[in-house]
Amino acid sequence: MGLARFDAASEQLLMDATGGAVEEHLTRDNQIVGTVEYMSPEQADDSMEIDGRADIYSLGCTLYCLITGRAPYRADTPLKVLMAHRVREIPDLRAVRPEVSERLEAIFHKMVAKRPTTATARCPK
């Protein structure tokens, strides 16, 4: 049968093939979990305090990659990529692919907003 994994607060709960629960820490404090090229600025700060808006940000980064063939921010170290998500200007899709519509550009910019402070931030309509 294998293992089934369930999130349980800050720990991970594993079940063995017999159905017995095994508690085990799969991550350590202060460890980056995720792909930095697609990680929201707030996830880099505190992954325990994020919500679905971080997923929208990551989807925006994925959209950028699908359209342009590259991640929105590139740098020579993971830390520099994380910092770019926080401080660098949001890249324009149309600078790389001029045929992208203004509407799609606007949706992308909303998806990768630097600060999701309102309920509608990062929620394209």
pLDDT digits (tens, 9 = 90+) for 32-81: 667 889 988 888 777 677 788 888 999 999 999 999 999 999 999 999 99
Q: Is the pLDDT confidence value at 97 over 70?
A: yes
Coil, helix or strand at residue 14: strand
The pLDDT of 100-119, averaged and rounded, is: 86
* pLDDT recorded at residue 34: 72
Average pLDDT in the chain? 77
Q: How far is CA 70 from CA 41, 54, 60, 105, in A?
A: 19, 20, 12, 16
- 50 half-sphere exposure, CB direction, 13 A CA radius: 18
C-alpha to C-alpha distance for 80 and 64, rounded to whole angstroms: 19
C-alpha to C-alpha distance for 4 and 50, rounded to whole angstroms: 24
Please choose, from the candidates 60, 32, 33, the residue with its C-alpha nearest in 3D space to the C-alpha of residue 116.
60
Please choose, from the candidates 59, 70, 65, the residue with its C-alpha nearest in 3D space to the C-alpha of residue 111.
59
Tallying the residues shown for the chain, one arrives at 125
5 — pLDDT class (breaks 50, 70, 90): very low
